Amino acid sequence: MRGWLLIGLSSVVSLAVQAAEPLGRVDLSIGLYRIDAEVAETPGRRAQGLMGRERLLPHEGMVFVFPELRAHCMWMRNTPLPLSVAFIDDSGRIINIAQMQPHSEDNHCAAQPARYALEMNQGWFAEKRVAPGAKLVGLERLPAPR
């Protein structure tokens, strides 16, 4: 019994270390606008997202890299920031943009199969006049999803 407890405890510690490891960052752009994006390419990082985050600088965001092309959905559990999310296809084109309210468990989904999602401060896309069809540049620098 004691051996199983140790194995279980080491698994919990391993997960905690993985969650605490700093997120990678990548420079992306849409038109003239530069984005300093944290990268969520693993299941744990995608699940954590921006939970608990109090603020993002105006040019900061988080890009989610999905292993499969499908109509992914996002929600805002434990996320105090109002965010906008753009769902993006394999070629880097924005499919659709959704507005997400803090702490909401409402699903916001891609209108078509997506490979990426980019979360920015709410209103960022509208302020920059970025709409579906716009191309996100720099995705080739992202790590492969895990």
Per-residue model confidence as pLDDT tens digits over 6-62: 344 333 333 443 444 556 999 999 999 999 999 999 999 999 999 999 999 999 999
Total-model pTM: 0.84
The whole-number pLDDT of residue 23 equals: 65
- 99 closest CA partner among 120, 78, 129: 120
Which residues in 13-27 are b (16+ Cβ under 10 Å) and which e? eeeeeeeeeeeeebe
Q: Return d(Cα 63, Cα 25) in angstroms, integer.
A: 9
Q: Return d(Cα 84, Cα 16) in angstroms, integer.
A: 28
Band of the pLDDT at 112, cuts 50, 70, 90? very high
Q: Return d(Cα 130, Cα 66) in angstroms, integer.
A: 22
Residue range 24-141, CATH number: 2.60.120.1140
The whole-number pLDDT of residue 116 equals: 98
- What kind and span of H or E run contains 90? none
What share of the chain in percent tops pLDDT 70?
84
Sequence spans of domains, the chain? 24-141
